[in-house]
Amino acid sequence: MVNFRKNIQKMQGYVPGEQPPSGAQVIKLNTNENPYPPSPEVMRLLLTFEADWLRRYPQPDAMLVREAAAEVYGVPVDCIMAANGSDEMLAILARAFLDSGSKVAYPAPTYSLYTNLAEMQDADVVEIPYNEDYDLPVQELLEVQANLTFVCSPNNPSGTLAANSDLEQLAAGLQGVLVIDEAYCDFAEQNALELVLRHENVIVLRTLSKGYSLAGLRLGLGIAAPELLAGLAKIKDSYNVDAFALRLGAAALRDQAWMRAQATEIKLGREELATALTNLGCKVWPSQANFLMITPPNSDAGSLYRHLREHGIIVRYWDEPRLVDKMRITVGSEDENQVLLTELKELLRS
């Protein structure tokens, strides 16, 4: 008999999207990966990788990648922290600010990892439901005054963007820390990075997993005031960013032109897909991310999801109250989007 802490015993654990074996003949539109390859600079650097970079421990302060991020974002290097994916940044934040009885608040539905991290710390979760338009419920979140407030923008799974004026109001009125998870900001028309310069309780999270096509590398970034990051640095693993992520991540960040070009393609694909799906009778939420949340015409998202799967197309579906009639579709390459539309037309007709 193994005696876990009570809250660990109770919790379910995060359920990641399905990852079919590589080489499987499926069109994978379920975990918001980028359909295009990472920067050629990354692949070139990989070929020159030195054995010594692997023999030795990597930089504990991840300076190589932080310097690149500081250049790209135009902020001082001590306003940047790097981690093993933005999921690790989220976990570090939970460990730093939550213990038994602390409060976590976020508008829902959103990224379900926030719930798991709260449960791990035995914190109390206050979910504020989004309205149908996914406007940020600023007043309700302010009333909770949680130790940690998460806002995902653009939001996963809706793709909708929080207004900067709403985020500013939230930042100014919260005593606790506001985490703005911008995993999809590379596909959005605006971001909230500048809030970090005016509010010492705000941290903005970025990742190289989506915009930079590097989900396999595991590199995420936190941007915040130096005092906040100094506290987080105390509890991170010493070598949380490995030798590959340090160097390849820096190269990817410095190739902004490549990232932007792929993002432009994806945004075009997103708009085409949104129009086509609307014409098929689907409700499509306005997305600023690399995915679309839709409700099919008969609202039976569950059986549409299963039928798509039988035809080799995997999208994301959640059998839970707010999302039963919806699915989240990652924008793929032009070819993938076409195959998806062809299948959907067939399925919605029958």
Ligand X SMILES: *Cc1c(COP(=O)(O)O)cnc(C)c1O
Pick between residue 10 and residue 322 the one whose CB is nearest to ligand X: 322
Q: Is the peptide bond before 37 cis (omega within 30 degrees of 0)?
A: no
Number of residues in contact with ligand X under rule CB under 6 A: 13
Candidates 34, 86, 295, 337: give the one binding ligand X (CB under 6 A).
86
CA–CA dist 202, 93 (Å, integer):
12
CA–CA dist 307, 188 (Å, integer):
31
Candidates 149, 158, 207, 337: give the one binding ligand X (CB under 6 A).
207
Segment 25-54, which members bind ligand X (CB under 6 A)?
32
Pick between residue 207 and residue 344 the one whose CB is nearest to ligand X: 207
CB atoms closer than 10 angstroms to residue 275? 11
Nearest-CB residue to ligand X?
85
- Helices and strands in the chain: count of H runs, count of E runs: 14, 12
Q: Is 85 in the site for ligand X (CB under 6 A)?
A: yes
Rg of the chain on CA atoms, in Å:
20
Closest separation between CB of residue 182 and ligand X, Å?
9
Pick between residue 224 and residue 344 the one whose CB is nearest to ligand X: 224
Candidates 156, 213, 262, 295: give the one binding ligand X (CB under 6 A).
156
CA–CA dist 316, 293 (Å, integer):
10
In one letter, which amino acid is 83?
A
Q: Is 182 in the site for ligand X (CB under 6 A)?
A: no
Candidates 82, 97, 153, 181: give the one binding ligand X (CB under 6 A).
181
Pick between residue 106 and residue 344 the one whose CB is nearest to ligand X: 106
Extract the runs of DSSP E, i.e. beta strands, from 172-322. 177-181, 202-207, 220-223, 283-284, 291-295, 313-315
CA-wise closest residue to 79 among 238, 217, 211, 204:
204
Candidates 97, 106, 111, 212: give the one binding ligand X (CB under 6 A).
111
CA–CA dist 194, 203 (Å, integer):
10
Q: Is 214 in the site for ligand X (CB under 6 A)?
A: no
DSSP state, 92?
H
Candidates 215, 225, 229, 341: give the one binding ligand X (CB under 6 A).
215
Stretch binding ligand X (CB under 6 A), from 80-88, 101-109, 240-248, 314-322: 80-88
Q: Is 222 in the site for ligand X (CB under 6 A)?
A: no
CA-wise closest residue to 185 among 202, 171, 204, 166:
204
Pick between residue 134 and residue 344 the one whose CB is nearest to ligand X: 134
Three-class secondary structure of residue 28 per DSSP? strand
Stretch binding ligand X (CB under 6 A), from 48-56, 81-89, 233-241, 259-267: 81-89
Stretch binding ligand X (CB under 6 A), from 82-90, 190-198, 248-256, 273-281: 82-90
* Region of 281 on the Ramachandran plot (φ > 0 left; ψ -120 to 50 alpha; else beta): left
In one letter, which amino acid is 133?
D
What is the contact surface with ligand X in residues (CB under 6 A)? 32, 85-87, 111, 152, 156, 181, 183, 207, 209, 215, 220
